[in-house]
Chains A and B, each alone.
Chain A
Amino acid sequence: MPPRNKPSSDRFALKKCPTGIQGLDEITLGGIPRGRPTLVTGAAGSGKTLFALEFLVRGATLYNEPGVFMAFEETGEELTTNVSSLGFDLDGLAKQKKLAIDYVYIERSEIEETGEYDLEGLFVRLGHAIDSVKAKRVVLDTLEVLFGNLPNEGILRAELRRLFRWLKKKGVTAIVTGERGTNTITRYGLEEYVADCVILLDHRVTEQISTRRLRVVKYRGSYHGTNEYPFLIDKDGISILPITSLGLTSEAPSGRVSTGIPRLDTMFEGKGYYKGSSVLVSGTAGTGKSTMAARFAESACKRGERALYLAFEESPKQIVRNMGTAGIHLKPYLDNKHLVIRSERPTLLGLEMHLLQMTKLVTEFKPHIVVMDPITNLISVGFQADVKSMLTRFVDFLKAKQVTSLFTSLTSPGNLEQTDVGVSSLMDTWIVLKDIEGQGERNRGLTIVKSRGMVHSNQFREFKLTGSGLMLEDVYLGASGALTGAAKAAQIAEEEAAALARTEEIERLGRHIERKRQVLESQMIVLRSEFEAEEEEIRKRVAEVQAQKQAATDQRARAADTRKADEETSR
């Protein structure tokens, strides 16, 4: 009997068996149908055997469900060797009675058919193997070998039908692999017997770049992701990332992250980017995009955070050396594992693979910030629409993880504000770096085109790379536009001279007034003294006249006394 699934409110719901294959259980919302066979089909080399084997190994190691692998193509030793590089220890599992491998060999030239037969031998072997390890999972890889080697197809088909009924009755979850036919799901029509779940593996080469893809063609009685999902086979086995299912549901944290350039922080309300936002830095060649990106990474590491630098142009050593000359020292952070630089030529993998690898890296390393430099190089491996869709998913993925991301984009001069990939709409913040050419030199300018959800500066700044780091400076606005570099220096000198002249004029005028005042004041003193002298003269005269007047009165009185003049005459 199959063990019960996780408690489910609906006891009629389809029970599912987690495969343990990274990502697949998310696409199928829990795994493949429990107790039923699932068909895994694909062309040669699409990873069917590995898929099936990983299903068993994960079952045995993660879910304590032993499994039986019935191999029709490879011997047990071959299988063991083939997957040991993936860290699957088949021998060890077999010793622990968690896995039984039965190699079925059949060769038509050694067989003579004489009358009626059935495939009871296969049933006996499978039944015995299942009983020997108490298997819950069974893989048949691949039954199609029988079609080539058993002469009577009628008997074979009848027996296969019986086999699948028998497997269901046994209650084992089975994976049956099949080769893909030209116009059919499998070459010999195995899908006829396995009606519950069909998974298609594909290995496609477009423009010389191969991508593995997986699609759930059919899943009776269950929702499932219907898209083609790229998958990766690496040292950890198969990983499928159902990235296309990510949506616009991410959180919007209000925390801020410094840009690494103090003056730029002030342009963003003095605080920098929003945490978990996406930043696009676009500009023509040599405008300092990478340097700005590296600075951002360095500042994150300085704060003790982890930064992931995905480079498509330079090797890690080259980046460390080149950034050193701009005063950005990445080596210590590489050493203390706060910084990981992953350099890869875009043409090495297809877009989906890049995406898968990057998301895998992010999941493992858990960085606080991610730098991708530059996204425009990805155009060389895909069409614009593909690149945009891939970046959308990557940005969504990073936002969901609240990772702040910075992307650089190389634009051709002329259509500066029209990014090649048309990704600007995905980005929360967009900084444009410009070349300002003139007067025999080339300078860099910086402007913020947009920054969602904040009041950012609308000013144009000169962006300077110096040995001690990055600097932002004001530009001079002249009659012919913004001035930078030598023109700016000339302008500064000119303005300084003019200012000096004005100061001198002010001082001169000041002195003039002072002189005037002094002249006036001295004149006033002279006048005052003249006036005082005159006043004294006049006062003297007045005193004299009064004295004379008194003297005359006295004279008259004395004369009257002597003449004894009567009153009347005196009147």
Chain B
Amino acid sequence: MKNSKPKEPGEAVDFYELRLYVAGQTPKSLSAFANLKKICEEHLKGCYRIEVIDLLENPTLAKGDQILAIPTLVRKLPEPVRKIIGDLSNTERVLVGLDLRTIPQAERREA
């Protein structure tokens, strides 16, 4: 897997295209967005794009990415597509979900 190569914070990485699905301005979606922003700034500075989709405005989009839970973060790029549900308060798990773990842990996980 191309993402499993060693990556250091700030090192050049693949471009991350992220979509955050929310349904209205709920506390959960606001905190999800804040958490995401923080993690991306920390680990993916300059290599990411976040698109926030409010399903209350665009309900049809839920079908395309098979969204059930809110909030859901979808990593469209790099492939494969991954989904992370919840308010992204557990940073560790978000990093696992985004394949942004540090080397030893990443290797241990894949072993």
Q: 1/0 contact trace for A522-536 toward B, CB 8 Å?
A: 000000000000000
* CB closest residue in chain B, given A110: B83
Q: Does A93 contact B (CB under 8 A)?
A: no
Q: Does A520 contact B (CB under 8 A)?
A: no
Within 8 A of B (CB), among A309-351: none
Q: B87 is contacted by which of A105, A106, A117, A122 (Cβ under 8 Å)?
A: A117
Contact A110 B21 (CB under 8 A): no
B83: which A residues are within 8 A, CB to CB?
A: 110-112
A105 to B67 alpha-carbon distance, docked (Å):
9
* CB closest residue in chain A, given B88: A114
Q: Does B66 contact A (CB under 8 A)?
A: yes
Contact B66 A106 (CB under 8 A): yes
Contact A112 B97 (CB under 8 A): yes
Contact A112 B63 (CB under 8 A): no
A124 to B54 alpha-carbon distance, docked (Å):
10
Contact B55 A124 (CB under 8 A): yes
Q: How far is the CB of A114 from chain B (nearest CB, A)?
A: 4
Contact B86 A113 (CB under 8 A): yes
Known: A120-B55, A121-B55, A121-B68. A115 touches B62 (CB 8 A): no
Q: Does B28 contact A (CB under 8 A)?
A: yes
Contact A128 B62 (CB under 8 A): yes
Q: B88 is contacted by which of A102, A115, A118, A120 (Cβ under 8 Å)?
A: A115
Q: 1/0 contact trace for B65-94 toward A, CB 8 Å?
A: 011111110000000011111111110011
Contact B68 A119 (CB under 8 A): yes
Contact B87 A116 (CB under 8 A): yes
* CB closest residue in chain A, given B54: A124
Q: 1/0 contact trace for B13-38 toward A, CB 8 Å?
A: 00000000101000010001000000
Contact B71 A117 (CB under 8 A): yes
A106 to B65 alpha-carbon distance, docked (Å):
10
Known: A114-B88, A128-B59. A119 touches B82 (CB 8 A): no
Known: A110-B83, A125-B62, A125-B63. A115 touches B90 (CB 8 A): yes
Q: A114 is contacted by which of B55, B66, B89 (Cβ under 8 Å)?
A: B89
Q: Does A127 contact B (CB under 8 A)?
A: yes
Contact A113 B93 (CB under 8 A): yes
A105: which B residues are within 8 A, CB to CB?
A: 66
* CB closest residue in chain A, given B81: A110
Contact B84 A111 (CB under 8 A): yes
Q: B90 is contacted by which of A102, A111, A114 (Cβ under 8 Å)?
A: A114
Within 8 A of A (CB), among B92-106: 93-94, 96-97
A454 to B97 alpha-carbon distance, docked (Å):
87
* CB closest residue in chain B, given A155: B69
Q: B66 is contacted by which of A104, A117, A127, A150 (Cβ under 8 Å)?
A: A104
Contact A121 B89 (CB under 8 A): no
B89: which A residues are within 8 A, CB to CB?
A: 114-116
User: For this complex, into which size category does the number of interface residues on chain A fall?
Assistant: 20 to 34
B93: which A residues are within 8 A, CB to CB?
A: 112-114
Within 8 A of B (CB), among A111-156: 111-125, 127-128, 146, 150
Contact B82 A112 (CB under 8 A): yes
A150: which B residues are within 8 A, CB to CB?
A: 68-69
* CB closest residue in chain B, given A156: B69
A111: which B residues are within 8 A, CB to CB?
A: 83-85
A121: which B residues are within 8 A, CB to CB?
A: 21, 23, 55, 62, 67-70, 72
A123: which B residues are within 8 A, CB to CB?
A: 23
A116 to B71 alpha-carbon distance, docked (Å):
8
Q: How far is the CB of A492 from chain B (nearest CB, A)?
A: 91
A119: which B residues are within 8 A, CB to CB?
A: 68-70
B86: which A residues are within 8 A, CB to CB?
A: 113-117
Q: How far is the CB of B90 from chain A (nearest CB, A)?
A: 4
Q: Does B56 contact A (CB under 8 A)?
A: yes
A405 to B66 alpha-carbon distance, docked (Å):
59
Q: A112 is contacted by which of B21, B84, B87 (Cβ under 8 Å)?
A: B84
B62: which A residues are within 8 A, CB to CB?
A: 121, 124-125, 128
* CB closest residue in chain A, given B97: A112
Within 8 A of B (CB), among A540-571: none
Contact A102 B82 (CB under 8 A): no
Q: How far is the CB of B43 from chain A (nearest CB, A)?
A: 14
B21: which A residues are within 8 A, CB to CB?
A: 121
* CB closest residue in chain B, given A105: B66
Within 8 A of B (CB), among A76-119: 102, 104-106, 110-119
Q: How far is the CB of A179 from chain B (nearest CB, A)?
A: 19
Q: How far is the CB of A398 from chain B (nearest CB, A)?
A: 52
A146 to B68 alpha-carbon distance, docked (Å):
10
A112: which B residues are within 8 A, CB to CB?
A: 82-85, 93-94, 96-97
Please give me the 9 A-B residue pairs with the lowest Cβ-Cβ distance, nearest first: A112-B97, A128-B59, A115-B89, A120-B70, A115-B86, A121-B67, A114-B86, A115-B87, A120-B23
**What are 16 sample pairs from A and B whose C-beta atoms fall under 8 A apart?**
A104-B66, A106-B66, A111-B85, A112-B96, A114-B84, A114-B86, A114-B94, A115-B87, A117-B86, A118-B70, A120-B69, A125-B59, A125-B63, A125-B67, A128-B62, A150-B68
Q: Which residues from chain B sit less than 8 Å from chain A, CB to CB?
A: 21, 23, 28, 32, 55-56, 59-60, 62-63, 66-72, 81-90, 93-94, 96-97
Q: A110-B81, A112-B94 are in contact. List 7 more A-B contacts (CB 8 A).
A: A104-B68, A111-B85, A115-B32, A124-B67, A124-B70, A125-B59, A146-B68
